[in-house]
Amino acid sequence: MSILSADEVQAKLDASPFIAFSGLRVVSADAEKGEITMRAPFRPEFERAAGSGQWHGGPIAAVIDTVGDFALGMLLGGGIPTVNFRVDYLRPAIRTDLVATARVRRNGRSFGIADVDVFDEQGRLLAIGRATYVTAPAG
């Protein structure tokens, strides 16, 4: 098990065609705190309706899942499978990049849990998510 730096996490994000398309960028990573922050740029392909400027919930959910995954993944050496996932949308995300911060709540032998807060560029909380991931070595 090797802890990943912010640059190593970014390299893993960039190696995934879907995640690379999303444009997710690591802003900060603190393995000691079990916390990582990423920024997702707004793209027209993520709009709920063409020209609305409003994010569709699906891309927001994907951001939450990915940022939560790598909060644990930076501690375990890479991305890990999602077992369960939920999101609560609190307000629309309109014409803004997303800033998502994930915190590891549990890093167990078999499963881990991360909580994710998603903010707009003005710091308003837009959505919260929680996911469970497999932390046991594949085998």
Each residue's pLDDT tens digit, 119-133? 999 999 999 999 999
Is residue 33 assigned to a domain?
yes
Q: What is the pLDDT of residue 59?
A: 98
Number of domains comprising the chain: 1
pLDDT band at 1 (very low <50, low <70, confident <90, very high): low
Is residue 96 assigned to a domain?
yes
Q: What is the pLDDT of residue 124?
A: 98
Is residue 66 assigned to a domain?
yes
Is residue 1 assigned to a domain?
no
Is residue 139 assigned to a domain?
no
Nearest Cα neighbor of 16 from 61, 70, 60 is 70
Distance CA 8, CA 19 (A): 15
**Domain CATH number, residue 22:** 3.10.129.10
pTM of the model: 0.95
In tens, the pLDDT along 9-63 reads 999 999 999 999 999 999 999 999 999 999 999 999 999 999 999 999 999 999 9
Residue type, 116: V
Is residue 72 assigned to a domain?
yes
pLDDT band at 139 (very low <50, low <70, confident <90, very high): low
Nearest Cα neighbor of 115 from 83, 75, 86, 81 is 86
Residue 63 lies in domain: 6-134
